[in-house]
Structure 1
C-alpha cells in the first residue's frame, strides 16, 4: 500500500480500514470539518497538496493508511525481492524512512545496512543512486557508521562509483564518502585503503566543480587525520593549482585542505619553497568572504617559520591589511585568524615596531561581539539563532558553524568560550606588540 502523506510504500494490510478509525475519532471530537480521505471512495486531493515527486506506479487517491514497525520489517525483507518493481518500491520507502530518526534507528537494528550494501553493484542506476542516499543518511548515526564500516567492501564500491559511474551517482557517492570521513574512527579505517587518497587526487583534476568541492572536503578530513599520507601523494602541488580556479568555493576548499597539510613539518617546508605567504596576499583582497577566511587560516600556519616572516617583512602593507580584517566584529572567525597571523609576525622586530608606531591605536580599538549578538556562525542575518541552531527547518549550507578545537564535544557550538578565546588573543597581541627585547 502507499501512504500519501509520507510519499512511501508499505506492504501491510490492516484488519480495519484506518479511514474508519479516523472518521470515528473526528465525530467523537465533534469536528465540523472532516478529512475527505476518510470517505469511500477517497476524494481526489487538490493539485497543490499532491507530492511533487511521485513514487512509481501508484494512485494516491486509492491508498490505505497503514504504517508502523511491522511494515518496516516487511520492507526490509522486500529489498531483495525478485520482482524489480517491488524492490524499487521498497528502496524508495527505506530512503524516505531513514530521514525519520526513530525509523532510521529501527532499520539499523534490522541490519538494513548489510542488505543495501549488497545492492550497490545493481544494474539499475536508480537503485545505485538511492542506495548511496540511504547510506549517507545512515552514516550520520553512530550505529549506522559502525555497521557500514564493518563491511570493508563499502570503500571499494564507493570508489568504483566515484571513478566510473555517471555524474549523478558520482555526486551522491562522493557525499557518502565525505559523511563517513567526517568521523575520526571511520576516517582511520578509510585511510587504510591502499589507493583511496591517490584516486581522489586524480579525480579532482578533471571533474565537475560540485563533485570536486565534495572531494576536497573529504581530503580535508583525511589531512586532519594523516597529512603525511596526502603529502606523499603530491596533494600540496595539486591544491596549489586549484588556487587559480574560477569557483571561489573550490579555492576556499583547496585552502582548507592545504591548511591541514601545513600542520605537518614537511608541509611547512613546502610552503616556504613555494612562497605561499607571499602568494596569498591577493586573496586577502578577495570579494568572497569564504576565500578571505580560508586564506587567513592557511596563513596562520605558513607564517610560523623564520623564512616566511622574513618574506612577509618585504611587504609592509600586509600588517595593515591584517589589522583591517581584525575590525570585522560580525566575522569572529576572520578576527581570530587575522589576530593569530599578526601574533606570528610580531616575532619579527621590524614588523613589531612598524605595527607599534603606526597601528597601535587601531589594534587596541578592535571590537569583539557580545554573545547576545552572535549565534555561533560566520554569517549574521535577521533570522538570529534559527540560522545557526535550527538545523531541521533552516538551510545553513552557506554558513560555517563554529567548532570547538578540543574537548569531549569537539563539534558542539560554544559561543561563550569562543568569544573568551578572542578576548584572550587580543590581550596577548597587544602585549606582543609592546614587548621589549631583553637587551633594552
Structure 2
C-alpha cells in the first residue's frame, strides 16, 4: 500500500491518488480502523512535508524513484542535477530518508555529506534550508559528524548563513551548528574558525528568541572548551543582560553560559564584582524547574571564593532556607545534588556553618534520595512525546541531557547508580561539615 506520510517523495509514478488506493484496499478488506495518514486532511505528517519555504512545482507525494539502495544512490547523484526540479525532488527525498537510521547510515557511507556541503550556499533558499536540516539529522550520528567535520568549510558556510540569510534559514543553520557543537572533537575544530564566539555574541543581541536559544546552547559548549576567548569578547556582561530576559529558556541558556565562564579564575572574580550570588536568590524560587536547576548550577561556582562566602553571610537566612527546600525536591536529583554542593561551599564559612547547625541539621538528615528504579538518569523534566519516542534508541533526543561529571577521567556519561551514590556522598559530606569543629574549639 502507498503511504504519503512516510518517504513521500519516493513513491512510484502512478496516475491515481495513493490515498484512493489505500481507501479501496481498506474497503475491500472491510477494515474500519481510522488511519490519520490516509484521511483528509492528513495528520501527523513528517515536518519536511510542511516547510516554511515551499518549493515551487514539486509534488512531494510522487517521484520517479523506487525504494531500496538503488534509489538512494540515484537521489545522491541527483543532488547535483542540472535540472532544478529533479534537484529539489532529490533534496526532499534525502530529507525524508535520513529520518530512518538504516538509510541515513547508507547515505553517510556513500558520502552524501560532501555533496550537501557543496549545496549549502545554493541560490535557491529552499535548498539552503533543507540542506541544513539534513546535516542536522546526519550530525546525530558519530559517522555523520566525522564526515561533516572533515570539511572545515562547513563552519564558515554555517556562519555565513547565520549572519546574512533570512530567518528560517538562520534558524536551520543555528540548529545544525548546535548539533555539531555537542561533540567535544567537533568543538575543537569549530573553535579554529576565527572569532566564532565573538560573532555569535554579537548576533544574540538582536535576534529572534528561538535562534537565540540555539546560539546560547552552542556558546555553552564552546565556552566550556575555551573560556578566555569568551571573556575577551565580554561574554560575561552580555550573559548578565540576557539573564534579565522574560523567556525562561533564554534565562537558562544565559546562566548555563555563565556557569562555564565562572570555571575560569577571572570569571569567579567578575562574579564577585557583580555580586552574582545575591542576584541569583530570586531565581531559586522560580516557577520553572529548569531555571532553578540552572541557577543552582551557576551558584556552585559563584560560592567558591572567600569573598562570595562572606557576602552570602549577609543574607544567610533566606539563602540557606531556599537551598534546603530545594534539597528536598526528590523528583529532580540533579537539583538536589547542586543544592547540596552549594551548601557545602557555604559551610566553609564558620558563621553559615553555625547557622546550619542550629536551624537546618534535622532537615538535612531528612532529605530523601530516589532509588535507581525511580529515576532514568536524565535531567529531563517533561515526558517523552511522539516526536522523540520514534528515535529513542537510534538518535540523540533533543532537550534531554544525560547526567555527566564536570571533571575527572570519566567526565562524560555516568550511570544512574554512580550518580545516586554521589548524592548520598554529598549528603554525608554536608552533614559532616555542619558538625565540623576546628581544632581550636
The offset of 1:392, in angstroms, is 2.4
CA distance in 1, matches of 2:259, 2:184: 18
Change (3 A) 1:103 1:246: same
Partner of 2:40: 47
User: Does structure 1 residue 240 correspond to structure 2 residue 259?
Assistant: no
Partner of 1:350: 351
The offset of 1:433, in angstroms, is 0.5
The offset of 1:12, in angstroms, is 8.0
The correspondence of residues 4-403 of structure 1 with structure 2, limited to 5 A, is 4=4, 6-10=6-10, 33=29, 46-47=39-40, 52=45, 53=49, 57-58=58-59, 60=61, 66-317=66-317, 318-378=319-379, 390=389, 392=391, 400-403=401-404
The offset of 1:104, in angstroms, is 1.0
SS in 2 for 1:280: helix
Partner of 1:22: none
Partner of 1:433: 434
Contact 2:272 2:308 in 1 (8 A): yes
The offset of 1:284, in angstroms, is 1.1
The offset of 1:376, in angstroms, is 2.3
The offset of 1:263, in angstroms, is 0.5
The offset of 1:375, in angstroms, is 2.3
Change (3 A) 1:137 1:399: closer
Change (3 A) 1:188 1:11: same
Change (3 A) 1:75 1:223: same
Greater Rg over alpha carbons, structure: 1
The offset of 1:183, in angstroms, is 0.5
CA distance in 1, matches of 2:410, 2:184: 13
CA distance in 2, matches of 1:88, 1:181: 28
CA distance in 1, matches of 2:82, 2:274: 59
CA distance in 2, matches of 1:109, 1:352: 60
Contact 2:11 2:64 in 1 (8 A): no
What are the ranges of 5 or more consecutive residues in structure 2 without an aligned counterpart? 19-24, 32-36
Contact 2:252 2:291 in 1 (8 A): yes
CA distance in 2, matches of 1:378, 1:190: 27
CA distance in 2, matches of 1:286, 1:145: 37
The offset of 1:241, in angstroms, is 0.6
Q: Deviation digits for residues 205-229 of structure 1, max 9, x if unmatched?
A: 0000110010000000001111111
TM-score by length of 2: 0.86
CA distance in 2, matches of 1:366, 1:51: 44
CA distance in 1, matches of 2:371, 2:300: 25
SS in 1 for 2:79: helix
Q: Deviation digits for residues 43-102 of structure 1, max 9, x if unmatched?
A: x95436688537964385x87883110111111111111110000000000111111111
Partner of 1:29: none
Contact 1:374 1:380 in 2 (8 A): no
Contact 2:261 2:267 in 1 (8 A): yes
What are the ranges of 5 or more consecutive residues in structure 1 without an aligned counterpart? 14-18, 20-25, 27-31, 36-43
**Pairwise CA RMSD of aligned residues?**
3.2
